[in-house]
Amino acid sequence: MKTFGHSGNNAGDEVFGSEQMREPAPSEYIPQHKTPGEIAYQIVKDETFPQTQPRLNLATFVTTYMDDYGTRLMNESVAINYIDETEYPRVAVMCGRCINMIANMWHSPEKAEWKTGAVGIGSSEACMLAGVAAWLRWRERRKAAGKPYDRPNLVMSSAYQVVWEKFCQLWQIEMRTVPLTRENPTLDIEQALRMCDENTICIVPIAGVTWTGMNDDIEALNDALTEYNFITGFDIPIHVDAASGGFILPFLDPHKNWDFRLKWVLSISTSGHKYGLVYPGLGWVIWKDKQYLPKEMSFSVNYLGANISQVGLNFSRPAAQILAQYYNFIHLGMDGYREIHTNSMEIAQYCHDQIGKIPCFENYAKKLDNPLFIWYLKPEYDSKANWTLFDLQDKLMQSGWMVPAYTMPKDIEDMVVMRIVVRQGMSRDMADMLLADIRNAVAELEKLEYPTPSRIAAQKAEQQKGKVYTH
C-alpha cells in the first residue's frame, strides 16, 4: 500500500515538483501522513479540471453564477450552522424574512407577522414536506370521519421529478400518474380527476416541467377541482411543484393565476438554487396558512441550551444559502429579478427560434413558459439519418457543452429529445457560440457514411440513455 503524503515539512517545494504529484490520488485509505495544503488543494482541483465549466452546463437547472458579493457572503458564512438558532439568531430572522417575501410574492392571504413556511436543502426536501403535510391532513380528516386511512394516493402527470417517486415510496402512498402524450404535453385535467377518489391526498401540478419546461394549467385545474369537490364532497387540495416556475412566473407573468390566489392551492414549493439565483442547495415550501401545516411536523428540540422549533427532514445544514437568498432579495429587488429572467427568457427564445430553423430539428413547444425548451429530430429525417441526438450530445461535449439527450417519460419513451436550460450567466454571445457548435456538429454527423452505434441501437429499438443527468 502506498503511503501517500510525508512526515516532514516540504511546504516550500514547488507543487508540481513534489513527490505527491507523481503518485495516484488516494482512493481507498486515508493517507498515513500529512500533505501540504497547497499540494492537497491542487490534487483536488485537478480532479475537476477535465469537467465542463459550470456555465457551459446547459443540462442543469441550478445556479452556476453569482456575483462577487453573493459569492463572498457565502464563503464567509460557510461555517455557520443554520440550526444553531441560539448562537446565530439573526440567521433565523433572515430565514423568516425570506419566507415572508416568498409567501407575499405568491400572494399569501395569511395575516400573521411571520408566514408559514420552511427551508430545505433543495426543492426535493420542500416537496417532501408539502407531501407529508397533505398526507397528515388527509389522514386526520379520515380519522375524524371514522373512515379507513391506509390507502392514500397522489395524482400528477408522468412528467414528475424523481422526488415524488421517492416520497410515495417512502411514505407508502400510491402514485397515480396521468400519461403525457405528444398531443397533450401537460397535465390532462380530466384524466387527473378521473384518477382521484376519497383517498387522494392532493393533486400536484408542475410549474416548469423538468422534461419539457412547460407549465401545467393550474388555474384550469383549480376551477375543475372546485366543481369536482362540490359534486363528490371530497376536499382534495393542490400542491404546486414550482421548482423552476416559482421564481419565473411572479416576474415574467405576474397577472397569471397559479398561486395562493387560487382556492385549492394550499402549498407551493420552489428551488432557491434554481431561478432564485443562489448556489445549491436551497429549497422553500410555503403553506397558505398555519392551519395547513400539521402540528406533528413541528419538532421542539432542546439543542445547545435552547428550545428550537424545526420543520424539516434534515437538521444541521449550512446557513450560507439562506444568507445568499436574502442578499439577492435586497440586492436585486423585484426589478433586478425581472431583468435577469427577462434576459434568460429572451436568450432561450432566440436559441429556440434558431434551432427551429435547422432543417433536421423540430421544436417540441411553440411557446416558451420558462427559459428552457426541448427539440427532436424530425421523424422523416430521423428515419434515414445515420446518427441520433445522443451522438450530437457527444459532439457538443467535445466542445465543453453539456446539452442532454434523453428519452421522454412513460408512454412516449420512444421519443428522444434534447434540452437547453438558460440561466443567469448565459449571454447572447455564448448562445451564438453554442448554436455555431450545434450547426457544425450536425454538418459533421451528416457526412457519416455508416450508422453510429447509437443509430444501430435505435434501429433495434433498444433503450438508450444519455450521459448527462437531466434533473
- Using pLDDT thresholds of 50, 70 and 90, give the confidence band for residue 7: very low
Output the pLDDT for position 152: 98
Q: Strand, coil or helix: what is 95? A: helix
- Using pLDDT thresholds of 50, 70 and 90, give the confidence band for residue 467: low
Domains present along the chain, CATH in parentheses:
1-50 (4.10.280), 71-328 (3.40.640.10), 342-459 (3.90.1150.160)
**169 phi and psi, to 5 degrees?**
-70, -45
Q: What average pLDDT score do residues 285-300 get?
A: 92
Per the listing, cell 498515513 goes with 32
- Note the pTM of the prediction, 2 decimals: 0.91
Q: What is the pLDDT of residues 349-388, one digit of tens each?
A: 999 999 999 999 999 998 999 999 999 999 999 999 999 9
Q: Evaluate if residue 469 carries a pLDDT over 70.
A: no
Share of the chain above pLDDT 90, in %: 74
Residue 305 Ramachandran class (φ > 0 left, ψ -120 to 50 alpha, else beta): left
User: Rounded to whole angstroms, how far apart are CA atoms 398 and 308?
Assistant: 51
315, three cell numbers: 437538521
Q: How far is CA 220 from the centre of its chain?
A: 24
Q: How far is CA 362 from the centre of its chain?
A: 25
Q: What is the pLDDT of residues 421-440, one digit of tens each?
A: 999 999 999 999 999 999 99
Residue 37 CB neighbours (<10 A): 9
Residue 364 CB neighbours (<10 A): 20
Please check whether residue 279 is in contact with residue 74, taking contact to mean a CB–CB distance below 8 angstroms: yes
Output the pLDDT for position 50: 72
